[in-house]
Structure 1
């Protein structure tokens, strides 16, 4: 700000009263104040030559002239005369008023009125404002910058980019244990336990906690001798958390009789090189059913086709944690529930055939093989790679959707971001990539509701924001590559729709359940899906006409054999989002 001039007008003179006359008082000295009475003296003054002064003295003609403090346009002068202090206004405001009038005129000429208008160039919104409401059609050209990015899902309004939400969110439980006071569950093998832990819970007001020893022993939370349970067409839902996932070697679940002398076992925590089922101290919901049964003991057995000897009459339940060598791990359990399984909607199970990256071999070789059986897939594209090298074009993806009924989902917007993985970026950058990807899908007429995590990594950004929490504002489902032979595959409906488990790296280079020959053999993943009712999500990358040499390649002949094997078993094949729309 600048100093303003006071005085030098014909009225700005020092005078005293003598009877009914005014007498000029040259050389009178006065002080400046910020109020008519009281207030604070203003001492930051200068004379007309710019010399600092704390008082004002009239000249030989009794005229006053000085500069006030920065930005001050009004003050009160006190020369000790009768009548007290007098008001003075800055005398150089004319140019300021002229400039202000010009500014106002410019704003008036460029403003958007209530009937609408056009704003071009760069728009920056900053400060405390968080809500921008626009009605009608809105077109933004140039760069639009928001001063603060809203990451909280509860306050971020994404409008037309939000998912449809026409998906199952929860299935009611026919049997529910939520570990409240008097729950009757006991611990065994644990180094320590707290069966009424009121410090940690997401259901009710407490949970049950068990901690393993450091010697690789199991800590068990169990309840035996209950009324017999029929688990035909049922699946199990567990809500739990682990304090340190790196210290968890195994998370297992058992059902059986006679204090588990007879039991079936599931393994629940698949771990890949890039991801795991949950993060440290994060409450997760795990669902599993008969299609992913791991082992049997006692009088129970599993047939060569993968079918359990019985699905009813169970009186015992147990969840078990085992730590890695030299480490203890704590498991908090807040719910063990029995809910309707996949077979209540899909009696023969259901399969989704999905593709990551968008290689053109999908269009050239996978599509014709699937068209033969009327199968529809989900293709997760990297937008930045479309039409480049050996990648499909936008036109080919539209043909998949419009002519073969496929779903086109998102793998990433940027090829660079895909290669570096979302976990290498801050939340703002991840939000940009996912949002731009959804904008591209919507803008090009694609109706995909699913995202596949690059590299299977969905945990957290570099600044600690859950990647799946960002993406669920734009997509209804998120797909991982969480799979290990003998571990639980996906169920319908999934316990965590943004972390759906899938069988990846289907290739003859593999040796486990994801080797095509093992998959289609008796007792393989296809049999288990059909005969026990699961949701099997099969992930492919490239289809090669020759022999597969890396895990991301599946030979054309193997792919055709898998399609034929699915058809022979009568298992329905649906895109990811179409499965989610089938909830009943």
Structure 2
């Protein structure tokens, strides 16, 4: 059933600082500027008048993502402000075909923003990407106490200094952690420039539709709307709920029709409603393994061969990722702090970012256009689609049609399931 380790064994990543980090999907970096060596050339900017971070060090040897050190930025809590670590290259680097990859660990919830600034040697012309903190710290990309990797497409660099960065001649990099008026600590392992589409498999960008929780409206309202446009989706079901309430959940027969007749992928989410309500981090190792085995048995019984998973409620941690990685090739979360595309060579296969269809049409359209420009991936996540009305996790048919129109206008490749897109990654 695609299991890499026998059930019952200790999770491969249970005690890891990070989990399922790269895999063969990741492109090798064209330029690696890591901070785990004494001669890395990264320097901490002097403390600003508004904030004191003299406890920071460019050679923090107590912690490291790998190697023996990292850069530690730590404020003393006197006031809010920016803490900076900088590097100037000896010669300009052509990053025209690259995304920026950031290695980071936050130690508390006091940080407010992380900024990556790339520009000329003088810094007079630069572009800046801003990663803002999500209030929920369990379902996000940046989680307290974990080393994580963020891939930042060029289109996420939306703030400019001067005329903006000439991507063909990057020479200075500044990484900033914005501290609150309380002690704030953030650690960095480095920055890489990674080829955005090294195999040339995603020249137009792509959009994948995913739908969670087996809502009956996905069969009665959503499917006809997609089929009319020649589109399909990936279902992330709750098999244990099938047939329990015809007004809320699909039956197994309805799911089979989506798969057999309309070409939908039937992925993995959670088997039971009770476990879904807890989120996978609320389960013990054995309970989580039992859930995965139940989903795999159900998929096998109905002939669904899917490599895709999504986290109930979006919550995840290194332990959960380690177990999920035994059963599926990727997993999707429920947030995207940059409101931009996931990359075709994602740094973290088990934390793929998604955009909720409840985002504004303006946000969704902008993200789709960025995916086309950056040769990236937009994973759209939805729940219910109603003929009219809609709130919370529900949208109406009019909003759905606006989204579908925006998808067509973006120029991205459409009609792919998650599994079909994953095949582009050459895992």
Determine helix, strand or coil for the equivalent of 1:327: coil
Aligned equivalents of 2:234 and 2:291: distance in 1? 20
1:171/1:339 contact within 8 Å kept:
yes
Match of 2:281 among 423, 433, 454: 423
Match of 2:44 among 150, 165, 187: 187
2:339/2:363 contact within 8 Å kept:
no
Shift of 1:540: 0.8
Q: Deviations over 1:162-195 (max 9, x none)?
A: x9xxx74321111011221211111114433322
Residue 313 of structure 1 corresponds to 169
1:360/1:391 contact within 8 Å kept:
yes
Higher relative contact order (CA 8 A, sep 6+): 2
Counting only pairs closer than 5 Å after superposition, residues 260-271 of structure 1 correspond to structure 2 as 260-271=123-134
Give the root-mean-square deviation of aligned CA atoms: 2.6
Aligned equivalents of 2:160 and 2:383: distance in 1? 34
Counterpart check, 1:178 vs 2:34: yes
Residue 345 of structure 1 corresponds to 201
Structure-1-length-normalised TM-score: 0.64
Determine helix, strand or coil for the equivalent of 1:176: strand
Counterpart check, 1:247 vs 2:99: no
Residue 408 of structure 2 corresponds to 567
After the TM superposition, which parts of structure 1 deviate over 6 Å for at least 4 consecutive aligned residues? none
Determine helix, strand or coil for the equivalent of 1:338: strand
Structure-2-length-normalised TM-score: 0.86
Shift of 1:501: 1.0
Residue 419 of structure 2 corresponds to 577
Q: Deviations over 1:390-426 (max 9, x none)?
A: 2122222222223332211122100111112223232
Pick closer, same or farther for the CA change 1:314–1:154 going to 2, 3 Å.
closer
Gaps of 5+ in 1: 1-130, 133-145, 156-162, 301-308, 461-465, 508-513
Match of 2:161 among 292, 297, 300: 297
Larger radius of gyration: 1
Counterpart check, 1:552 vs 2:393: yes
Counterpart check, 1:442 vs 2:263: no
Residue 328 of structure 2 corresponds to 475
Residue 401 of structure 1 corresponds to 259
Aligned equivalents of 1:554 and 1:582: distance in 2? 30
Aligned equivalents of 1:487 and 1:325: distance in 2? 27
1:212/1:321 contact within 8 Å kept:
no
Determine helix, strand or coil for the equivalent of 1:224: strand
Pick closer, same or farther for the CA change 1:225–1:338 going to 2, 3 Å.
closer
Counting only pairs closer than 5 Å after superposition, residues 367-378 of structure 1 correspond to structure 2 as 367-378=223-234
Aligned equivalents of 1:477 and 1:233: distance in 2? 25
Shift of 1:337: 1.0
Match of 1:531 among 348, 373, 388: 373
Aligned equivalents of 1:196 and 1:517: distance in 2? 43
Aligned equivalents of 1:569 and 1:287: distance in 2? 21
Pick closer, same or farther for the CA change 1:226–1:414 going to 2, 3 Å.
same
Shift of 1:255: 0.8
Pick closer, same or farther for the CA change 1:419–1:243 going to 2, 3 Å.
same
Shift of 1:498: 0.7
Aligned equivalents of 1:276 and 1:294: distance in 2? 21
Matched residue count: 402
Counting only pairs closer than 5 Å after superposition, residues 505-544 of structure 1 correspond to structure 2 as 506-507=357-358, 514-520=359-365, 524-544=366-386
2:331/2:350 contact within 8 Å kept:
yes
Match of 1:452 among 310, 313, 318: 310
Q: Deviations over 1:212-245 (max 9, x none)?
A: 342222111111254222222311122232222x
